[in-house]
Structure 1
Amino acid sequence: MEPNQPAQVAKESSKAPTGIAGFDEITRGGLPRARTTLLVGGPGSGKTIMALQFLAHGARDCKEPGIFVAFEESSRRIEANAESFGWGLADLLRKKELFFLDAQPKSDLVQAGDFDLGGMLAALEAQAQAMRARRIVFDALDVVLALLPDPAAKRREIYRLHEWLLARELTGIITAKAGGDENSVVIQQPFGFMQFMVDCAVILDHSVALGVSYRNLRVQKYRGSGFDENESPFLIGNGGLVVDVARTRVHVHPKVSNERVPSGVERLDTMLGGGYYRGASILVTGYSGTAKTTLSGAFAGAACQRGEHTLFVSFDSDCNEVIRNLASVGIGLDRYVKSGCLRMISARSIAGSAESYLVRIKTEAEEHGARCLVIDPVSTWYKSSNDTTAQSVADRLIDWSKGEGITLVCTSLLDEMSNRTESGSPLQISTLADTWIHLSYLVQAGERNRGLSIVKSRGTAHSNQVRELILSDAGVTLADTYTAGGEVLMGTLRWEKERAERVASEAAEAAAKLKRVKLDAEEAELKVRMKSLETELVAKQVEKALLVRSTQSHEGELSRGRTQMKELRGDDETIAGGKASQP
């Protein structure tokens, strides 16, 4: 790496940064230093603003004084028009870090004989030396060149100007008007050769399609440097030009996070296996009134409760209306707006094409330091642009949010009248979204109830159930799933089933309790009977023992009595036995 460092430093120092967000990234550092750049565009394309922003940035931030030569508008008008951008031109002019030269031909000018730019360039050289200027802009050069009699004279003066810039090593910009139809940007002849002469050529385009304004720029050539060749949208914001380079930027794999962030609905987090992934893109689709805004508002409230800066962009309602409506379902966002943690933007402050929406949203998110972003609904872009442009912008929004590690929640409105299904979202960003939540209506028993299902959620073992979404003063929650005959029950039917199950449970519990009492009584009765039988058994056993002893005693008495009787009667056996026993 070390041997390449000097070349890298030299490459960076050969470019003059413009200070235009995105453009310096497209050109790998800015315009070619000490060389000439041509800006070509039609009316309202932003040529003068871009050139003036280049000068202001150089004088203010790069310590490179600049000169602005105005061939079309007076310097006073240009300064007044640029005041809203906050560049501090008046202060730069007072410090002599910036100089305006009025070179507009007078309207009543009567040309007599030939003229050239030599006198003006001599005056400019003295001014440049006095203020040590490093940058210079010739705005609307075609206006003064139109006074020359023939193409040869015009070509001669253009070469004179170009050689003068190179000899003084000034970083120059020449602006010129574009001609042709609105589908092509071609510099007016006979000045077309300027595109071949300069070192860098930038084409600005301003067009209108379906009543929507589009601004795009493209670097046509850049000698000695790589650059992004694709067309990039831009807008003129509060600070000047802002260029969207997400479409042309080399893709960088975003950092993948395993951290989970709450959705704002506890039971939805359970269905998702713990919530959304940090930096993921979440799409919420549904018909009007299915609580898409409520679900995204719950996410914004949970993010702010964690202390994470959040940007909420609403295209359907005014911000105050959104805050009021969400408060009715227990989602209080006003305190977060007051604390500065939540920034809310309504569609009334963002107007134009889908490209304009994207650039402004990115600018607001970066200024706010947002870690979470809500766009409600993103399908508005489909109405403001053609299908291809809107789809491209939505795709770039997801790529950008992933690259920045921003958790993105977008809602998309489905049209009930167009018979679209959950897969028929106007913007097919569902293929790029990490989590897709679909909200729907279920009509049962004369009621319309909201249902929520998770179509997909990458990397999570999510639920496949359709749950009823319940909105109340206490907040947002999901009801338990109840089915009957394979059909999901919601609303009154669910309530009736809950009540029936509760009554049946209570009846079963009472019956079981009564059965236990009966069994206890029977058990006690059996125990008493068993005790009585045991006592009776003992008595019988005693009686039997007495009977046995009595019988044995009686038999003994009878045997002794018979023996005595025999002895008294002189029984021969007894006498013989007696005699035999004598000695």
Structure 2
Amino acid sequence: MTKTTKGKITTKRSKLFKSPTGIKGFDEITEGGLPKNRTTLVSGNAGSGKTLFGIDFLIKGATSYNEPGVLMSFEETLDELYTDVNSLNMNLQGLVSEGKILCEHVILEREDIQETDFNLEGIFVRLEDAIDSIGAKRVVLDSIESIFAGVTDLGILRIEIKRLFRWLKEKQVTAVVTGEPGESDSYTRHGLEEYVSDCIILLDNRVRDQIATRRVRIIKYRGSKHGTSEYPFVIDDEGLSVIPITSAGLEQPGTEKRVSSGIPTLDQLFTGKGYTKGSTILASGTAGCGKTSFGAAFALESCKRGERCLLYSYEESAGQLTQNMKSIGIDFTPWIKKGLLKIVAIRPSFLGLEMHLLSIYKLVDSFKPKSVVVDPLTSLIGEGDQREVSSMLTRMIDLFKSKGITTFFTSLVSANFKSNTSGEIGVSSLIDTWIVFRNVEEVESRKRTRELFIVKSRGTNHDSDVHTFVLSDDGIFVMPNDGKPKLSTGKKKEVDKNIAENKNIQ
């Protein structure tokens, strides 16, 4: 709209209103949802989730935004639709019985789709009656190929498709129309709907290296900015969830607050204050050098502060981890019972990278931990190519930082320690504090000792020397360079006795 004021021409921009889908992550990449009172084409191959996207859009509208909806299906019967979504804990049938959603199954006979005298009047009548009967604000048509299956005349097709989309716009409903990709990079079989749609969403279900991954991409969105990348999405018991690649930016505020590592002698290496609150810590080293034990000590200390801690164990079961940590004086059992510690023991390959990342998102939202331990990050290698693993880890780290969660990661490195101390993952640049652990064999004494040193700790004065440490029945003790631990008198004598007698040292 333009105005003329004293010889000057000014332009007044009309705001594009949007209808939130309620689908996790999707409204973020579209900056608000689908174009309100306009038509969106959802295209995708078989099994990509087109129908479920439409149903989820209707269910979220009815339950979260007080917008009744109409589903007109030309392929699946109502009983089939009810059964399909019930397996995902989506109560479509219940919303239908409450009058919040109306489902219509339209059976098109051969004479209905003949090219001669083809028109959409019958569909318009049924659709208008359904919309008016419940005051629908949202409509889903599944799928458009079924409506125009018998029409080959491009002229008739274009006229009727434009007529359908114009009719939906005049009814002031936010519409989702599903379609199947055609040949020559077309997003529908007819290749016409994409030109009259206000928004096009492409869903894809691909399999690579025996791993299935679903992805969504916004092809076009008239009058609105939107994410242009491919975004992983998953289908679980709550419907669709999109994981935006750029969901968390570098906007975390700085802080001078500290949290203890759970090991007083290690805190001394950080000027006696421990880790920076909300930072990320990486403990890397070869097998058997004590990384998990340091992570367990940090988790226990978090619980003692009354803060919830989430511990992901990728190599040991919860029972096995709890039992093993008792040998160094770390008892998880009372804190698990109090609900302050939650151990999630799972193989990443069981879910795949994206589903596993989504489960982390959901658990962080529900459990609301202040501290997280991930042991080890290297278990994620092999669940995708290097770029996918790196992307997943970046988003995981960004998630924890955006929530102000102090996170302790462990990383297993190969025996050729000097060649790669970061664990072959390449996340060290994203880490705030990096501690390297190693086993050292003394040739003369034929003994093995454990050592650690701090590679970096952003914004924190820290000791950069190499220190030995021991794992004893009473905990973990880091030695200063003079070989004497900075402990209370009683504890110091006990540790010295253990070292002297070579007992209880693991």
Q: Which residue of 2 aligns with 1:456?
A: 456
Q: Which one-letter code corresponds to 2:314 in the other structure? A: F
**1:309 matched to 2:308:** yes
Q: Which one-letter code corresponds to 2:48 in the other structure? A: S
Q: Secondary structure at the match of 2:180?
A: strand
**1:377 matched to 2:388:** no
Q: Write the deviation string for residues 238-274 of structure 1: whole angstroms up to 9, x where unpaired.
A: 31112222x3348352111111111111111111221
State the number of aligned residues: 476
Give, in whole Å, the separation in 2 of the partners of 1:46 and 1:271.
52
On the 8 A contact 2:414/2:420 being kept in 1, the answer is no
Give, in whole Å, the separation in 2 of the partners of 1:242 and 1:315.
24
Q: Point out which structure has higher relative CO (alpha carbons under 8 A, 6+ apart).
A: 2
Q: Write the deviation string for residues 226-249 of structure 1: whole angstroms up to 9, x where unpaired.
A: 22222222222331112222x334
Taking a change above 3 Å as real, the CA distance of residues 163 and 271 of structure 1, as seen in their structure-2 partners, is same
Q: Secondary structure at the match of 1:187?
A: coil
Give, in whole Å, the separation in 1 of the partners of 2:424 and 2:187.
38
On the 8 A contact 2:295/2:373 being kept in 1, the answer is yes
On the 8 A contact 2:413/2:421 being kept in 1, the answer is no
Q: Write the deviation string for residues 127-154 of structure 1: whole angstroms up to 9, x where unpaired.
A: 1111111101012322343333444444
Give, in whole Å, the separation in 2 of the partners of 1:260 and 1:331.
22
State which of 49, 53, 61 in structure 1 corresponds to 2:52: 49
Q: Write the deviation string for residues 474-496 of structure 1: whole angstroms up to 9, x where unpaired.
A: 2222234458xxxxxxxxxx989
Per-residue deviation, 1:387:
0.9
**1:75 matched to 2:78:** yes
State which of 68, 86, 91 in structure 2 corresponds to 1:88: 91
- Answer with 1 or 2: which has the greater Rg: 1
Per-residue deviation, 1:437:
0.9
Taking a change above 3 Å as real, the CA distance of residues 161 and 275 of structure 1, as seen in their structure-2 partners, is same
Q: Which one-letter code corresponds to 2:386 in the other structure? A: D
Give, in whole Å, the separation in 1 of the partners of 2:498 and 2:163.
91
On the 8 A contact 1:278/1:406 being kept in 2, the answer is yes
1:343-362 aligned at under 5 Å gives the runs 343-348=342-347, 351-362=350-361
State which of 57, 65, 68 in structure 2 corresponds to 1:65: 68
**1:266 matched to 2:264:** yes
Per-residue deviation, 1:352:
3.9
Deviates more, 1:126-135 or 1:457-466: 457-466
On the 8 A contact 2:422/2:428 being kept in 1, the answer is no
Taking a change above 3 Å as real, the CA distance of residues 295 and 149 of structure 1, as seen in their structure-2 partners, is same
**1:121 matched to 2:119:** no
**1:168 matched to 2:171:** yes
Taking a change above 3 Å as real, the CA distance of residues 451 and 104 of structure 1, as seen in their structure-2 partners, is farther
**1:147 matched to 2:150:** yes
Q: Which residue of 1 aligns with 2:398?
A: 399
Give, in whole Å, the separation in 1 of the partners of 2:248 and 2:343.
31
Q: Which residue of 2 aligns with 1:471?
A: 471
Q: Which runs of 5+ in 1 are unaligned?
A: 1-9, 484-493, 501-583
Q: Which one-letter code corresponds to 1:167 in the other structure? A: E
Q: Write the deviation string for residues 510-558 of structure 1: whole angstroms up to 9, x where unpaired.
A: xxxxxxxxxxxxxxxxxxxxxxxxxxxxxxxxxxxxxxxxxxxxxxxxx
1:238-317 aligned at under 5 Å gives the runs 238-245=237-244, 247-249=245-247, 251-273=249-271, 274-317=273-316
Question: What's the TM-score, normalizing by structure 1?
Answer: 0.75
Q: Secondary structure at the match of 2:146?
A: helix
Q: Which residue of 1 aligns with 2:207?
A: 208
On the 8 A contact 2:262/2:297 being kept in 1, the answer is yes
Question: What's the TM-score, normalizing by structure 2?
Answer: 0.86
Q: Secondary structure at the match of 2:428?
A: helix
On the 8 A contact 1:259/1:278 being kept in 2, the answer is yes
| C-alpha RMSD over aligned residues | 2.9
Taking a change above 3 Å as real, the CA distance of residues 446 and 495 of structure 1, as seen in their structure-2 partners, is farther
The structure in which a higher percent of residues are helix is 1
Give, in whole Å, the separation in 1 of the partners of 2:337 and 2:428.
34
1:157-556 aligned at under 5 Å gives the runs 157-179=160-182, 186-190=186-190, 192-245=191-244, 247-249=245-247, 251-273=249-271, 274-348=273-347, 351-416=350-415, 421-444=419-442, 445-481=445-481
Deviates more, 1:312-321 or 1:436-445: 312-321
Q: Secondary structure at the match of 2:311?
A: strand
On the 8 A contact 2:202/2:219 being kept in 1, the answer is yes
On the 8 A contact 2:114/2:151 being kept in 1, the answer is no
Taking a change above 3 Å as real, the CA distance of residues 156 and 401 of structure 1, as seen in their structure-2 partners, is same
Give, in whole Å, the separation in 1 of the partners of 2:288 and 2:157.
65
Taking a change above 3 Å as real, the CA distance of residues 419 and 463 of structure 1, as seen in their structure-2 partners, is closer
Taking a change above 3 Å as real, the CA distance of residues 154 and 11 of structure 1, as seen in their structure-2 partners, is same
Taking a change above 3 Å as real, the CA distance of residues 54 and 113 of structure 1, as seen in their structure-2 partners, is closer
Q: Which residue of 1 aligns with 2:492?
A: none
